[in-house]
Structure 1
Amino acid sequence: MTRTTPARPVPVEAVFPELAAHRGRTTRLHPRPGRPGMRESHVGGPMLWPAEEPWPVCREPHRPESEGYEPDAIRHARAAGVRPRSQPWRGSGTPGEDGPVPFMGLAQFFRRDIPALAAGPGSTDLVQIFRCPFHHGPHLTRRYHLRWRRAAETERAGRFLAPPPEVPMLRWEHELPEPCVLHPEEVDTYPWAEDDTLPAPLIARIDAWEDARTAEHGPDAPSYQYDLSIPPGWRVGGFPSWASTGPLPVDCESCATPMRLLLTAAGEEADAGSHSWVPLEDRDPSLRGKASIQGGRSVVEPTRLRFGRDRDLHVFTCPAGPGHPPQWVLS
């Protein structure tokens, strides 16, 4: 089934004609629980991974834990529609003390499915995203890994890895992604309006317009930041959202070139401030607003993942050197 973003509640370029010069495109991925295959773009599904190639591992020290969840217990609980029960951590409570920890595969995207996906180094056209399943250090930081491939070349491998290595326990249920199929859709998008993301006079007009609409229609009035500029959820390209941190400079550590947004991963496809973006196919046409949203958690939190404290994870790459290290930014 396709997914169709509703028309915006306000025609933003009619209100702010200057935004036409800043209009961009993003591909909303619309993940929904399903059974994706290894040759498909997905979140949480099986990776296209040659059997003879070592699986990526994290070799850094990890934060000790006292309790957690077995991955299969999480899967069984989700299938039954209940919450899994935590249990004491196996062993001494230090994840990975007996060796490297395998990364958790989060997602993979093919350019043939998502044409807006930027090419990787050497014109690679398949990107795979991984996260260490455990925290690092006193600030609970995370480690991510990105792997580029040539899809046609990889698909000619004789054997593929299935299933991948997996840690016996996870600290949180939301470390385990729910396998999701994708429904890519391109939509118009506009920059976050703060600091120097847009001309200062335009940002001032947007702020004044939002204040006036809130005064007239109350706190549920459509706003630029949450209803008109950047859609929530998993998406490729477009502009980063900066709701938690405010705009941050993201320059390549190798050559100082300003980096571009490759993709955004998110724990939610909608929240109280952005529910207007929920697709028409996931709504009851006889109802309005938040009350019209159908599908419950499979629509609002389909991947079951979280990033930081319910933030967006932006993955930036260098346009001048696609092989330069990416940057992972929570905002």
Structure 2
Amino acid sequence: MVAQFPWLGDLARVAVLLNPASGVPDAGASGVGGPLLWPTGEPWPECSLGHWVYHRDPLSAAERREWQEMDEARKARARNGTGAHNVVTHEEAAAQERIMNGASALDMRTWERISTRPDPCTDPVAMVPVMQLRACDAPRVFEGRDTDLLQVLWCPNDHDREDVAGGYPYGGPRLELRWRRSAEVGLTPATPQQPRRAADGYIPRPCTLSPVEAPDFPEHDELPEDLRDVVEAWCEDQEWDYHDDFACLDGWKVGGWPSWHLTDLQRITCSGTDCGRRMQLLLTMDSGGDPSLHVGRFGELRVFVCPDDPGHPIALNIQ
């Protein structure tokens, strides 16, 4: 495609597709969910922020009776053939809102309101090793850094704190990056603490990695307007799909372009002091597959970094 449209080469980014596969990596190797090299004497990181947890609150007898009466009223409208049995009246809608009291769902088997709300953390939770990446497997990520080892850890619980995600709305694991030099004295294979509480789908199964570089192109909406229609027309003539065949490569990857398949295009900017630069995609961690993670609605968790200052806060996003 670059040969057909050479000016697309300026938009191409080299992504490293990680291709995780079940297996326990060596402590010093790139891998997912496996052992990490950890400095002797450095405490294992813990999360002391509040976590978002599910709460189930039973309806009172009067609330349950009122809800059942509204259901019977709708069934009666159906029997009478009024055509309005699926329409909730204003009075019924107001009553349901009052009974739900901010909850997101109602379990009609147990008659419990289900909601998520922050639970103050009284006992810190050990972070979980998610990934370790060596510079030899993704050298572009380490350009400009005096390091050759990247470690990704997270708290395996949902968070909804803006400062966790660099100022953007977010609900997912709290994540930390550790950049290290593998020749550092005192690095030894770590035996991580086990978290006292973890949400389903946030403990990765150990996997080895088989990194492969591939060109990645931006979302359709990222293309210049004068190029967008031309590219789409060319792809249609070739019976290709621009997004599926060229753009925003799927799966676990380092670098490349992020997909905005659940929302409109979002230009994530750095929250560092007096910065505001548009951030770039560092890492995408996908649900399913051999790591058997489950983030968001079985989606992707993406990590963004400032292109100018590696010391600025990261930003997280789930699609």
2:128 alignment partner, one of 104, 115, 124: 104
Structure 2 residue 159 is matched with structure 1 residue 128: no
Counterpart of 1:135, as a letter, is D
Counterpart of 2:43, as a letter, is P
2:224 alignment partner, one of 199, 205, 209: 199
1:325 alignment partner, one of 294, 309, 313: 313
1:144 alignment partner, one of 149, 165, 175: 175
Measure the CA separation in 2 of the matches of 1:137 and 1:326.
15
Partner of 1:152, secondary structure, is coil
Counterpart of 2:277, as a letter, is T
Residues 56-105 of structure 1, C-alpha deviations (whole Å, 9 max, x = no match): 111111234579xxxxxxxxxxxxxxxxxxxxxxxxxx978541111111
Counterpart of 1:184, as a letter, is P
Aligned 8 A contact 2:158 2:199 in 1: no
Measure the CA separation in 2 of the matches of 1:108 and 1:246.
31
Counterpart of 1:36, as a letter, is P
Unaligned 5+ segments in structure 2 are 57-117, 162-169
- 1:118 Cα offset (Å): 3.0
Bigger Rg, which one? 2
**Percent of residue pairs bearing the same amino acid type:** 35
Aligned to 1:165: 193
Unaligned 5+ segments in structure 1 are 1-11, 68-93, 214-220, 269-300
Counterpart of 2:132, as a letter, is Q
Count residues in correspondence: 249
Aligned 8 A contact 2:148 2:182 in 1: yes
Aligned 8 A contact 2:172 2:295 in 1: no
- 1:33 Cα offset (Å): 0.6
TM-score norm. by structure 1 comes to 0.67
- 1:188 Cα offset (Å): 1.6
Partner of 1:205, secondary structure, is helix
Structure 2 residue 285 is matched with structure 1 residue 265: yes
Aligned 8 A contact 2:125 2:197 in 1: no
Counterpart of 1:228, as a letter, is F
Counterpart of 1:166, as a letter, is Q
Measure the CA separation in 2 of the matches of 1:147 and 1:181.
19
Measure the CA separation in 1 of the matches of 2:266 and 2:160.
23
CA 1:326 to 1:201, structure 2 compared with 1: closer, same or farther past 3 Å? same
TM-score norm. by structure 2 comes to 0.69
